[in-house]
Amino acid sequence: MIEQKLIKKIQDKSAIIGIVGLGYVGLPLALRFAETGFNVIGFDIDSDKIKALEVGRSYIKHIPSERIESAVTEKTLAVTTDFVRAKEADVLIICVPTPLNKHREPDLSFVLKTTESLAPHLREGQVVSLESTTYPGTTDEEIKPIIERSGLIVGKDIFLVYSPEREDPGNPKFYTEKIPKVCGGVTKNCLNVGMALYGQVIEKVVPVSSTRAAEMTKLLENIYRAVNIGLVNELKIVADRMGIDIWEVINAAATKPFGFTSFYPGPGLGGHCIPIDPFYLTWKAREYGLHTRFIELSGEVNTAMPEWVVSKVMNSLNNAGKPLQGSRVLVLGIAYKKNVDDTRESPSVELMSILKNKGAIVTYSDPYVPQFPRMRKYSFDLDSVELTPEVLQQADCVLIATNHDDFDYEMIKAHANLIVDTRGVYREPADHIVRA
């Protein structure tokens, strides 16, 4: 039986694992399989990534080069841009982006193009797993038909599962094998293969009844965060107007041992999941004649936060007798969250763009992002500046947008003329510190 043969290959680790997309999700997963005794082929269309991996160099801050170098040297990890090699793999795990288009609708082009590229090389006895976040129905409505065009029958000849990624870059407590993995299959046989696959490298695998349930699970996780962050961002504005410290309030509320989970405000939402994923469900819900008002309202609140922060910068400069136009604003941190180098959907970058458009002279400092990256929406010809007393004194305003642990906050406080703090770094009030 094809299913049992494949499960046996997975269990004895003779199965070859193919990981398609070697970014923040795919690379740690590839290394996890390689380090547990599997032979792994990593696929990516970015030749620069492939060249870096071939010489054992990491391009992701929290993944040490030593892990890659070890896997490449021991020949448990091979990398390529050639999708023809997909036929060598018994397992193909798709970890590619699922952004929104300019109309804030799902852009499945990466997923569909990847599946189309793999399709000619699929064969009997393989399992395909989609990990990219998407709307319920994608796996069986979009991926399954592409696979079955070749004549292979999903659930009999080839197996198809959806298992959403749950990576939290930079989190030392939770890494790939420690984060429980949800898995849903198109058929029961598919689920059996998926459970066997992820059970080899993840400590706990959670089965659900279908790929749609697994897709919905991932969206629920991210919508839960987006809505609660939207709530606390709105409360931050109310508390600010009332002269109340929202961080003090949250910490006090967190002492309740039941019925409360702490969420913290910021300058907006960032990262590859939370600002994007809720709108996948919003879009799909319209097919059923439903309007997801709660999700869309939280999106509006979170999207408006950078403008609110900029207004705080303008008012703070005005109080110091300076207009925003022509003022030197030093942005601290352009990654979307602290202690990572990921700038995707970062509210810090949106802040830089708004400030520049209003005439400010914008610079930034981020130890994790030494040079402003290539981005589709933003363009700054800037390098990170080193934080020194002189650099701080030259800035009219220091805007804390991402609270990296590497920043010397005491030095910043001692030498900055004006600090606008969007992350609650400074708890004690001071004349030159403004919370935003």
Residue 240 has phi, psi (to 5 degrees) of: -60, -45
Residue 169 to residue 343: CA distance in whole angstroms: 12
**Which CATH number do you get for residue 132?**
3.40.50.720
Give residue 263's region: left, alpha or beta (phi > 0; psi -120 to 50).
Answer: beta
Least confident range of 259-273, 303-317, 383-397 = 259-273
Same domain assignment for residues 198 and 301 = no
| pLDDT exceeds 90 at position 70 | yes
- pLDDT at position 42 is 98
194 lies in which domain range?
2-209
Q: Please check whether residue 244 lies inside any domain of the structure.
A: no
Same domain assignment for residues 89 and 6 = yes
Residue 129 has phi, psi (to 5 degrees) of: -125, 130
Same domain assignment for residues 186 and 102 = yes
Band of residue 158 on the pLDDT scale cut at 50, 70, 90: very high
Same domain assignment for residues 262 and 202 = no
Residues 6+ apart with CB under 8 A from 151: none
> Over 38-51, what HEC string results?
CEEEEECCCHHHHH
Mean pLDDT of the 220-239 span? 95
In the chain, the percentage of residues whose pLDDT exceeds 70 is: 99
Alpha helices, DSSP H only, in 80-202? 109-118, 138, 144-148, 188-199
Give per-residue pLDDT as tens, 406-417.
999 999 999 999
CB-count exposure of residue 345 (10 Å: 0-12, 13-18, 19+): buried
Residues 6+ apart with CB under 8 A from 431: none
> Which of 175, 190, 209 represents a domain boundary (last residue)?
209
What's the whole-number average pLDDT of the chain?
94
- pLDDT at position 173 is 81
Location of structure tokens 């994608």: 138
Location of structure tokens 């292979």: 152
Give per-residue pLDDT as tens, 361-404.
999 999 999 999 988 788 899 999 999 999 999 999 999 999 99
Same domain assignment for residues 262 and 154 = no
Go through the chain and tell me how many residues it has: 436
Q: Please check whether residue 172 lies inside any domain of the structure.
A: yes
Mean pLDDT of the 301-323 span? 96
Going 5 to 7 to 12 to 18, the CA torsion angle's sign is: positive
Q: Please check whether residue 171 lies inside any domain of the structure.
A: yes
Give per-residue pLDDT as tens, 91-141.
999 999 998 887 778 899 999 999 999 999 999 999 999 999 999 999 999
| pLDDT exceeds 80 at position 47 | yes
Decide if 60 contacts 21 (C-beta within 8 A): no
Same domain assignment for residues 359 and 417 = yes
Structure tokens at 281: 């469900």
Count of C-beta atoms within a 10 Å radius of residue 76: 19
Q: Give strand pairing partners of 161.
A: 129, 185
- pLDDT at position 279 is 84
Does residue 2 sit in helix, strand or coil?
Answer: helix
Task: Kindly provide the residue ranges of all beta strands, DSSP E only, lying in 237-298, ordered along the sequence.
Answer: none
Give DSSP secondary structure letters for 34-80: HHTT-EEEEE-S-HHHHHHHHTT--SSTTS-HHHHHHHHHTTSEEEE
Same domain assignment for residues 203 and 124 = yes
Query: What is the DSSP code (8-state) at residue 170?
Result: T
- pLDDT at position 162 is 98
Mean pLDDT of the 79-88 span? 97
Q: Please check whether residue 242 lies inside any domain of the structure.
A: no
Decide if 237 contacts 188 (C-beta within 8 A): no
In the chain, the percentage of residues whose pLDDT exceeds 90 is: 85
Decide if 349 contacts 363 (C-beta within 8 A): no
- pLDDT at position 320 is 93
Residue 278 to residue 218: CA distance in whole angstroms: 10
Count of C-beta atoms within a 10 Å radius of residue 74: 11
Name the residue with higher pLDDT: 206 or 286: 206
Q: Please check whether residue 231 lies inside any domain of the structure.
A: no
Catalytic residues: 273
Same domain assignment for residues 268 and 197 = no
Mean pLDDT of the 208-230 span? 95
Residue 341 to residue 364: CA distance in whole angstroms: 14
Mean pLDDT of the 225-246 span? 95
Roughly what angle, to the nearest 10 degrees, separates helices 211-242 and 293-319?
Answer: 30
Mean pLDDT of the 8-23 span? 97
Query: What is the DSSP code (8-state) at residue 142?
Result: I
> Which of 174, 189, 209 represents a domain boundary (last residue)?
209
Q: Please check whether residue 72 lies inside any domain of the structure.
A: yes
Domain count, the chain: 2
Least confident range of 196-210, 293-307, 400-414 = 293-307
The whole-angstrom distance between residue 421's C-alpha and the CA centroid of its chain comes to: 23
- pLDDT at position 150 is 86
Same domain assignment for residues 275 and 336 = yes
Q: Of the candidates 226, 271, 284, which has an alpha carbon nearest to the alpha carbon of residue 108?
A: 284
Residue 138 to residue 134: CA distance in whole angstroms: 7
Mean pLDDT of the 289-297 span? 90
Same domain assignment for residues 197 and 344 = no
| pLDDT exceeds 90 at position 217 | yes
